[in-house]
Chains A and B, each alone.
Chain A
Amino acid sequence: MTTEVTPTSVAPKRNFNFLFALTLVGLLLLLCIVLSIATPSFATGNNISNLLRQGSMIAILAIGQTFVIITAGIDLSVGAVVGFSTVVVAGLLQAGVPIPIAILITLAVGLAIGCFHAFGIVKMGLPPFIITLATLTSLRGIGLLITNGSTINITNEAFTLFSRESFLGVPNLFWMVVIVAIPAFVFLHLSKWGRYLYAVGSNPEAARLSGVSVPKMIFIAYGLSSMFAAFVGVMLAARLGVGNATQGDGWELQAIASTVIGGTSLFGAIGSVHGPLIGAFILATIANGANLLNVNSFWQRIITGVLIIVIVFFDQLRRRNR
């Protein structure tokens, strides 16, 4: 017809997302530069490795959380799933189960927890906030019951050694982020499932009337989130050498903070895999730098809060100007 269409014209949305990601990377670099100047111990191999280990677990949680938040939901249970999973994997290892099988079972338990969330949301009509809040509290209870409130020490050296070793000079735990993030990126940004996820978050009724199975996408999002949390539980058990149901306390909030700092909208349908990753490492760098500078750890919490407000505020400004 009459309108001239220029398929090559610049994509405004992706452009903005790209700029936002750049801003976040810039912020992360700025933090690193400032800390390198402020304290000699920051830019040492040891400390950077430590920082990568600290950040990688929250980063993986944040990716799973992003899937859920894109559907306009929330997963408050991930911290509790981490703690519970350390108990599961430690218990299995101490019972003599081989490492790969113990890990697979733990991941399966995580997946089952996520499917339970999706079941509550899809079949029972519960709000995501409620069903995952319920799991948050009861899962810690179950973990404490199983262990009778005690800690399971892991005597399997091969398992705990993994978390301390490096590959190509980069800590193994950080490689785990890469192993999770690449398929996650393909899933969210390149596959049809990712498109469906955004569609469900934007308008579930329209998605449904276009032939998208909304329940299936809810199961996938919550299943992945809990499975990623179980994976983080395995990493944490390896790092600490123990299984304890109280581990990972408050990590759900750190994961949500990373996700939001990474440009994900809590209203759904907006978010990426790379944003939350950078968000998680910004938070880890702040925590690390504050430790090195002997800043009172209470201040870290305040700084994190202020950072969330500032970044999300600028993100809102950017969207409004669009």
Chain B
Amino acid sequence: MRSGSPDASSNADAQPILELRELEKRYGFIQALKPASLAFRRGEIHAIVGENGAGKSTLIKLLTGVIRRTGGKIVWNGAEVELATPNEAIAHGINAVHQEVVLCRHLSVAANIFLGDEAVKFGLLQKREMTRAAQKILDDMGFNLPADILLGDLTIGQQQLVATARASLRGTKFIIFDEPTAYLTRSEAAQLFALIRRLKDEGVTIVYISHRMEEVFELADRVSVLRDGTLVGTRNISDTNDAELVALMINRSLEQIYHKEAIPLGKVLLETRNLSGKGFNNVSLTVRAGEIVGLYGLIGAGRSEFALSVFGRNPKTAGDIVWQGNVVDMRNERTAIDLGIALAPESRRDQGLNLNLPIGLNINLPVYDQINSGIVVNAGEEKRRADQQIKDLGIKTPSRNSLASSMSGGNQQKIVIGKWLNHGAELFIFDEPTVGVDVGTKAEIYRLFAKLLKNGAGIILISSYLPEVYELADTLHVFRDGHLVGSQAYREKTHEDILAEAIGV
């Protein structure tokens, strides 16, 4: 191991653990990564930021052997390597923790940690020993997790921690984290950060990919910025700031991201009276035309469940839903959609998109009732509507026939939004619309909110990211344990007060 100097600058002369020389990846005529040269130092935390489609995923895939480079060299510990297969990368000690957990939900936590590396005696699995060893590893890492329960019984955040524990075993010298905190609660994120710092102290090199600037500044020693497949710069974290990084990423200033206009409020669109349902109790609130109503709270506080009941997905157990003055029976999703309610759900992957179907079909799914000529779908209208949304929202795709799964996170979110713009609605419910979405797309989405409001729509914005709801919502409600525990007008309370309400201290 290294003699361990926390000062990043003294490592500067040391031989880099991994060096990219003019690394390049082309798909046909498209350059996903233009020739990039970058040296990762031993034991540093190196953040990589950039918009969706800037080339971050391409870089990860190149380093983990998932795809092969089309030009340049990769030098590992001073020797040139191929990195042609994932196994080769793992053999060198290069591991990745992905945004979506790729483990076996039906196996125990211990079995997942030792998957492919099981303890065996006389051809039999040493289950008890593995559980004990796994428990020790988890305890050492400071994760308060039992090793003997099924992975599927954990929250997504906890599963992410298990994935991290797994990746940091087996002589790993280089770990890539791809948006690891996207689904983590604050305390889980804190546990993860502690582990990352410990790995760094052990001499492991960390590549940390995130959209959250505050995490980058909290963790990283250096940061590299990608834009449109080009490596536009690397900075020591102490020599840079938010504004410079954002400027490098998008050539746009921070103030322009949260876009809020003074829009007069109109009639009351939705009112819930003491509404209760699965996961939430006794929630009363109103949404007016031209208004953004923010719902803030920790994950699992009942905000998404509230939205699902308003949208007719889950039945209510008590209370009333009042739509434009009339009490309505929200029997199913179709009822809500026909009234003029749209929901962009929390998980794009599980709820928002039909991933292995074309973009066009996704966009038109809610409107197929309206675009028929006789018994067949009007193909011209179908194409026109899909292309319209692709154009209006700037969805970066070669064709409406491309599969939704081939799109980046930001573009996938645009497809979900495009689906509801295509259908039209008076009340839009956006549940975590900017998770895994880059700054540029975020700004586009916020601008779109203003446009919807000006057209007389109302918005319910659900977010776990406080600055977002704080800066955008006209009325902000805080949820905790399924209850509405506090409300405020625009910028009425401080961040700290709102956070305290959400956590309950």
Contact = CB atoms under 8 A, between A and B. Distances in A.
Interface residues of A, number: 33
Given A5-B390, A190-B379, A211-B337, 20 more contacts: A3-B391, A3-B395, A7-B383, A7-B399, A10-B399, A186-B375, A190-B375, A191-B372, A191-B375, A191-B377, A195-B377, A196-B368, A198-B354, A199-B365, A203-B355, A208-B333, A209-B352, A210-B337, A211-B333, A211-B334
Given A13-B403, A211-B333, A192 B369 contact: yes
A11 to B, nearest CB: 4
B345 A209 contact: yes
Nearest to A202: B354
Interface in B83-124: none
Interface string B334-366: 100100000101000011111111100100111
B250 to A, nearest CB: 12
Contacts of B444: 1
Interface of A: 1-3, 5-7, 9-14, 186, 190-192, 195-196, 198-199, 202-203, 205-213, 269-270
B401 A195 contact: no
Nearest to B382: A195
Contact of A206 (B352, B390, B394, B401): B352
Interface residues of B, number: 46
B398 interface: yes
Given A10-B399, A13-B403, A2 B394 contact: yes
Contacts of B357: 198-199, 202, 269
Contacts of B343: 209
Nearest to B399: A9
B305 interface: no
A270 B354 CA distance: 12
Nearest to B376: A190
Tell me the interface secondary structure of chain B in the complex. Answer: mixed
A191 B419 contact: no
Interface of B: 311, 313, 332-334, 337, 343, 345, 350-358, 361, 364-366, 368-369, 372, 375-377, 379, 383, 387, 390-403, 419, 444
A303 B395 CA distance: 47
Given A14-B401, A211-B333, A192 B354 contact: no
Contacts of B376: 186, 190-191
Contacts of A14: 401
A1 B401 contact: no
B369 to A, nearest CB: 7
A269 B390 contact: no
B351 A205 contact: yes
Contacts of A203: 350-351, 353-355
A19 to B, nearest CB: 15
A65 B337 CA distance: 32
A191 B392 CA distance: 26
B394 A212 contact: no
Contacts of B397: 5
Given A192-B368, A192-B372, A213-B334, A207 B403 contact: no
